[in-house]
A and B are shown apart, each in its own frame.
Chain A
């Protein structure tokens, strides 16, 4: 019979295990009928629960949210990372501790919750709910992982560069972005501010003014999305009962002149526009627009001084962007952007390469601003100006304004008449144009010299002569000439002569658009040619600018719901996708598909192209069923329209097969890929990229399915093609050999894997494909270790580290792991010095 001590010991041992595993201690069971020991045993259970190192009850719970840790604190309480105990959703929990809960503070806190709860916008941090728990007011908000703009700007300042030398790579690093945004840093800054302006527009539309917009209150996610948070000082239109007379609330550097002057009862959305303009200014110049040693000094500067010119410290900033920023920083709010939406629109115009709405300040305005900047020196200068120019300037300005109104009215009437006439002529002219273009092109090609070798040579020569011939023979027919140029540019593009296509199209636009107008169908097509050429050159900015022009012209020419407009919009969707703006691309492509699907009859090229590109965009990050379905429709449609061996059909098969594979529908993927690869081999053959991709993807599928012999055979076919010169291109070489290395390694063929990896590695780094470089290096090192060649493995490891460092990328975990094995292997073979050296190199 166990003694009392033994029973208590056993109970405690059991309870410690129970609590550690999340079980409730069984006091009755542990007492085992010894009623006299129950009280002591119960005490032991309580002690075990209280002291248990893995106890789960140690975290406080507020309002149904378990506090995981503090993530920030400010004037209005603390912010914690918390988890909804029921939904297991992570939130940011803002808590107003009891000790800070004065009546005004509490009211402000509650107002923040109400203000934000009604706002639904991807750029505004969502409020889920709010409440009070034992005197602690709380707000549960969306938890956003990212960096504040303040931290980003601080990081950029710490680089010690001038504002003009900041690159998008610097910005991406500072912001922790997952990719480097295209364009310049100024464009990236404008893009961020535009997002915030759009969010503010939503808030203002709901009657909510933020009143504390500043870099600290903007969070940038790693995907580049900007969110506005902390509506702690928000003014809600119908809740203006709080008196804050005389109190300056907000952060001084970003306060608007009306806030600085204390006129807080009269604030509207334009105050947020100002603060956001100040934020943009700081991003562009890395300094605040108004500085001072005290709050009062800053507020005074805001009210009385002009900010220094942006371009004086950041000459890289375009005039347009400077104009937009300064328009937001107009002291007179009547002259500021009327709404955040207007501010956003002008930033969008800048980013799209369109003219901005804001106007640079003219001479009288500049003089006024100069006076504000240099009040002491101004007097003499003003006198001189007035004496030289005087009253006539004012009169001139007034008369010009009146004349402008009359001219505008006349223009509107003219436009209406022209539009009516144009509609009637359009149908006739399009038909006539098409015939004339066909005739002209036929004449050009049949006039090409006989005796020159090669069909392609004749075509290219003929195209080269076409532009000059068109200028001569169609000098008095600009519309026809534009149509011919469009045909020639498209033909160049069809021959993959993208530079020639883009250059010719640009020349044609420059010369003919002023004559035939921007809405001429040929001009629209020419813009598409320039966009296409830019895409092929990976120039996303130009591509987007051109396609945007084409879309705007198409809307004006055909209307929003016209299939021709939808076809152009499909191109825009493609360009947006290339630029990584996938969400926008999906939106545009969906709209285009919707318009094109409404057209009667079987699917045509325009619809299939739209469906395929929508499917690609939808399956970019994950194989969404909707995306896979669009790809299926496109594949089937192209096959029925153009046949199984057409390039479009094969391209659609490639995307559809890959999407099926990523969706886990491996057998279906195999069927599609096998059929398409076979057709491609028989048709365009290995010389065509599409054939290479189809075979490569099929090999990858077989590898995933464990059908290694097939995978090896397919991948070897491509490697042999490369060796024979049938396939060319560094990125293709990297792709083919790195997968061959993977296949051979999977087959256990270390020597073959080594050979393939040796081919893959330089190609991968030359193609700037670090992941492939790392993966192939890891296989090379592993293969050499397996073959017992430790020294060679170490050499490969050093090479990998050198290349990694040169590319300024972090090594992959796989590479780090295999290098560790090499270090251990070097020690085992009695080379501690080599091991230490490699370890040190890896640690650097």
Chain B
């Protein structure tokens, strides 16, 4: 889609949108959604977490040592999961009478063509304007996943979406590597079949 990423690209405001595109925002939203428990869902949406993740990724960009897009994507996922944990902690604190109200990005006035993230992203970034379409595509993926057994969903999330090494995933599941791969292939087959059906029905932009 765009020129190959180079070290330092993640520091360049003009490359921010392209880097985020490369990192696969649709599937990151899937991970975010699946990582949100009922407490977090009660106070915000997956898009809120993603937008906060974007803002933090830009703000703390100097903290990330660039290797490749995969590593950057992992970093984004880590930020997102940390945000979810913080939101859960804050929500629990509020319930116990602690201070602090949470302003959601989705609460901010959405003017036409203006990002609600304001100054928190590089000037001219269009990434926020694409969250809606990313969300739409991620919903299709989630719907396809939801029809699989929970263990297969977790396996696909870990290996396919989070791109973690199968050795680690197999170890967490307590199964042999070859068994994990076998299971993964079957789950992937079921997932892709379901995905194909759902995508053909979705109300995304017209397909030529």
Q: State the A residues within 8 Å of B (CB).
A: 5-6, 8-9, 12-13, 16, 20-21, 44, 46-48, 50-56, 58, 60-63, 66-72, 78, 80-81, 88, 90, 95, 97-98, 133-134, 136, 144-148, 151, 155, 176, 219, 810, 813, 816-817, 840
Contacts and interface: CB of A to CB of B under 8 A. Distances in A.
25 contacts: A12-B184, A20-B163, A21-B70, A44-B185, A48-B188, A52-B160, A53-B28, A54-B22, A54-B23, A54-B27, A60-B204, A60-B205, A66-B1, A69-B131, A69-B133, A70-B205, A71-B113, A95-B206, A134-B208, A145-B113, A147-B112, A176-B111, A813-B59, A816-B59, A840-B99
Interface in B48-82: 59-60, 69-70, 73
Given A95-B206, A147-B114, A9 B178 contact: yes
Contact of A5 (B178, B189, B195, B206): B178
Contacts of A88: 2
A13 B182 CA distance: 12
B137 A58 contact: yes
B161 A53 contact: yes
Interface in B162-208: 163, 166, 178, 181-182, 184-185, 188-189, 191-192, 195-196, 204-208
Contacts of A78: 205
Q: Which of B24, B137, B184, B195 has the most CB of A within 10 A?
A: B24
B150 interface: no
Interface string B18-29: 000011101110
A155 B131 CA distance: 24
Given A69-B133, A136-B208, A151 B112 contact: yes
Top 4 A-B residue pairs of the complex, sorted by shortest distance between their CB atoms: A53-B27, A54-B24, A69-B130, A69-B133
Contacts of A48: 188
Counting chain A CB atoms within 10 Å of each CB, which of B69, B114, B160, B206 scores highest? B206
Instruction: Kindly name the residue among B23, B113, B131, B184 whose own CB sees the greatest number of chain A CB atoms within 10 A.
Output: B113
Interface in B113-170: 113-114, 119, 124, 126, 129-134, 137, 159-161, 163, 166
Given A66-B1, A81-B129, A151-B112, A53 B26 contact: yes
Contacts of B161: 53
Contacts of B28: 53
Interface in B10-38: 22-24, 26-28, 30
Contacts of B196: 50
Contacts of A144: 113
A549 to B, nearest CB: 39
B139 to A, nearest CB: 13
B109 interface: yes
Given A47-B192, A148-B112, A813-B59, A97 B206 contact: yes
A146 B113 contact: yes
Most buried by B among A50, A53, A810: A53
Given A50-B195, A50-B196, A133 B126 contact: no
Nearest to B177: A9
A78 B59 CA distance: 33
Contact of B178 (A6, A72, A147): A6
A144 B163 CA distance: 37
Contacts of A69: 126, 129-134
Interface of B: 1-2, 22-24, 26-28, 30, 59-60, 69-70, 73, 99-100, 109, 111-114, 119, 124, 126, 129-134, 137, 159-161, 163, 166, 178, 181-182, 184-185, 188-189, 191-192, 195-196, 204-208
Contacts of B113: 71, 144-148, 219
Contact of A53 (B24, B126, B184, B192): B24
Nearest to A90: B126
A176 B119 CA distance: 11
Given A54-B73, A72-B112, A9 B182 contact: yes
A51 B192 contact: yes
Contacts of B185: 8-9, 12, 44
B126 A60 contact: no
B118 to A, nearest CB: 8
A62 B74 CA distance: 32
Given A8-B185, A13-B181, A62-B208, 18 more contacts: A6-B178, A12-B184, A12-B185, A47-B192, A51-B195, A53-B24, A54-B22, A54-B24, A54-B69, A55-B24, A58-B137, A60-B204, A60-B208, A81-B126, A81-B130, A90-B126, A146-B114, A147-B114
A61 B163 CA distance: 27
B191 A51 contact: yes
Contact of A810 (B26, B73, B119): B119
A813 B26 CA distance: 28
B178 A47 contact: no
A171 B204 CA distance: 36
Contacts of B73: 54
B182 A70 contact: no
B208 A133 contact: yes
Nearest to B130: A69
Contacts of B27: 53-54
Contacts of A51: 160, 188, 191-192, 195
A68 B130 contact: yes
A78 B206 CA distance: 10
Contacts of A55: 24
Contacts of B70: 20-21
B31 to A, nearest CB: 9
A669 to B, nearest CB: 25
B55 to A, nearest CB: 11
B160 A53 contact: yes
A145 B178 CA distance: 52
A70 B128 CA distance: 11
B192 A50 contact: yes
A47 B163 CA distance: 16
Contacts of A817: 59-60
B116 to A, nearest CB: 12
A241 B135 CA distance: 43
B132 A70 contact: yes
Contacts of B131: 69
A147 B111 contact: yes
A96 B126 CA distance: 23
Nearest to A810: B119
A804 to B, nearest CB: 13
Given A9-B178, A13-B166, A53-B161, A68 B133 contact: yes
A612 to B, nearest CB: 30
A61 B178 contact: no
Nearest to B208: A134
Contact of A56 (B1, B181, B207): B1
B183 to A, nearest CB: 11
B188 to A, nearest CB: 5
Given A51-B191, A61-B208, A71 B129 contact: yes
A811 to B, nearest CB: 10
A61 B131 CA distance: 18
Contacts of B60: 817
A55 B199 CA distance: 14
A67 B28 CA distance: 19
A69 B159 CA distance: 28
Contacts of B208: 60-63, 133-134, 136
A16 B206 contact: no
Contacts of A5: 178, 181-182
A661 B153 CA distance: 57
A8 B181 CA distance: 9
B15 to A, nearest CB: 12
B26 A58 contact: yes
Contacts of B160: 16, 51-53
A81 B60 CA distance: 28
Contacts of A71: 112-113, 129
Contacts of B26: 53, 58
B132 to A, nearest CB: 6
Contacts of B163: 16, 20, 53
B205 A47 contact: no
